[in-house]
């Protein structure tokens, strides 16, 4: 969760400057205080789920992009960043760069439903300042943007 905070701070600031908004103007558009925007940009706090949704509307980008992952390869099931150690394999041994090895193994997906995965994440990922409920909402919103769950819908 903490790695998200710095990346999110950078992308909010970059997108705001791209649109030519001051912190004040952005704050008004998404119904928060200027101080809130300033804290996000200084990596002091992370926007809540509602603010992330508003920001994604105002900037016209996905929540993933706000979280700082525009081009990196992420598992299309759980959203974790993929590298050569975490990428999954097909049963014949070839890499499958769409998923991590914990979500997809031996041609089988580990998670059959979104709530199952969200439950796993909130019990295994450090939540920082998030309450369990906020974390559940946060992960659900983020996971729904991934291909595996888009197709499942």
Nearer to Zn ion, 21 or 102 (CB): 102
Residue 85 phi, psi (nearest 5): -90, -20
* Cβ at position 42, least distance to Zn ion in Å: 31
118 lines the binding site for Zn ion (CB under 5 A): no
Q: Segment contacting Zn ion (CB under 5 A): 7-15, 52-60, 98-106, 116-124?
A: 98-106
* Residue of 53, 31, 52, 41 lying closest to 5 (CA atoms): 41
Q: How far is C-alpha 126 from the geometric centre of its chain's CA atoms?
A: 15
The residue within the footprint of Zn ion, chosen from 78, 114, 143, 146 (CB under 5 A), is: 78
The burial class, CB within 10 Å (0-12 / 13-18 / 19+), for 107 is exposed
Nearer to Zn ion, 40 or 104 (CB): 104
75 lines the binding site for Zn ion (CB under 5 A): yes
Contact 27, 41 (CB under 8 A): no
Could you list the residues that contact Zn ion (CB under 5 A)? 75, 77-78, 100, 103
């Amino acid at each position: 969760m903490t790695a998200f905070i710095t990346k999110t701070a950078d992308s909010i600031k970059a997108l705001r400057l791209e649109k030519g908004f001051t912190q004040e103007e952005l704050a008004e558009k998404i119904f928060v205080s200027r101080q809130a925007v300033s804290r996000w940009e200084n990596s002091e706090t992370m926007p809540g789920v509602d603010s992330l949704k508003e920001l994604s509307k105002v900037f016209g980008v996905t929540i993933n992009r706000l979280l700082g992952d525009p081009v990196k390869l992420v598992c299309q099931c759980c959203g974790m960043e993929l590298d050569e150690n975490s990428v999954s394999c097909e049963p014949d041994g070839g890499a499958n760069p769409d998923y991590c090895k914990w979500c997809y193994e031996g041609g089988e997906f580990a998670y059959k439903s979104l709530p199952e995965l969200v439950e796993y994440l909130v019990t295994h990922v450090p939540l920082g300042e998030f309450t369990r409920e906020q974390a559940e909402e946060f992960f659900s919103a983020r996971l729904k943007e991934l291909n595996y769950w888009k197709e499942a819908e």
